[in-house]
Amino acid sequence: MSDASKPAGKATAGRSKRTESGKAGSLELGTDKLYFKIGEVAEIVDVAAHVLRYWESEFSLIKPQKSRSQQRVYRRKDVENLLRIKHLLYARKFTIAGARQELRGGTSKIERAPVAGLYLARRSLADVREQIDQLAAVVRAEPEPADLAADPAQFVRDQASLGDGATTPEQQLLKRPNRRPAQDPSS
């Protein structure tokens, strides 16, 4: 592909975005997970799982590890490379061989395809639901307003007991025992 056919400014914008984040090559996925299962990666990259397995066979830089149960486990770097491959194949219309050749030249200068919006929306929704659950737990733990009925005399008694021991005439009156409820005259 010649330089004239490349969109102007795209590669530069991608590079500056990575350096602005402070860590070259960092990928914002809405989670701090280091490893992803094939279904999660398929959702992030927005391709089917069989496509990921095919790309794995065609591109040597995609080497997922295997878990104890022999499931594929992709690192963040693998996800970045898969997004680059998707960009080359789908946006720039490279063939598999052309994309492989382009990737041999260095992956840092190749843009990544954007992370699937549906994946980011689901991550955001999960975060919001978690916050709602936390807030609901706090609200459930709060005492009922009826339990908070104030007794001003009790408050003053409590304050007096915390004081220096000197009492005023008003405080002496407050130390009297509580009145009994009025008795019904008919009894």
Q: What is the pLDDT of residue 128?
A: 84
**40 vs 112, higher pLDDT:** 40
DSSP assignment of the chain: --GGGSPTTHHHHHHHHHHHTSSTT----SS--SEEEHHHHHHHHTS-HHHHHHHHHH-TT---EE-TTS-EEEEHHHHHHHHHHHIIIIIS---HHHHHHHHHT-GGGSPPPPPPHHHHHHHHHHHHHHHHHHHHHHHHHSPPGGGG---HHHHHHHHHHHS-S---HHHHHHTSPPPPPPPPTT-
Q: Where in the chain is the domain with CATH 1.10.1660.10?
A: 3-115
Most confident of 24-33, 35-44, 118-127, 152-161: 35-44
- pLDDT, one tens digit per residue, over 103-160 is 887 655 666 556 666 677 777 778 888 888 888 888 887 666 665 667 777 777 777 7
- Of the chain, the percentage scoring pLDDT greater than 70 comes to 60
165-176: average pLDDT: 60
> What pLDDT, on a 0 to 100 scale, did the predictor assign at position 18?
36
CATH of 3-115, one of 3.90.1150.10, 3.40.50.300, 1.25.40.20, 1.10.1660.10: 1.10.1660.10
The structure's pTM equals 0.48
Q: What is the pLDDT of residues 75-103, one digit of tens each?
A: 999 998 899 899 889 888 889 988 888 88
pLDDT at 60 over 80: yes
Does the structure show a pLDDT above 90 at 169?
no
The better pLDDT of the pair 16, 142 is held by: 142
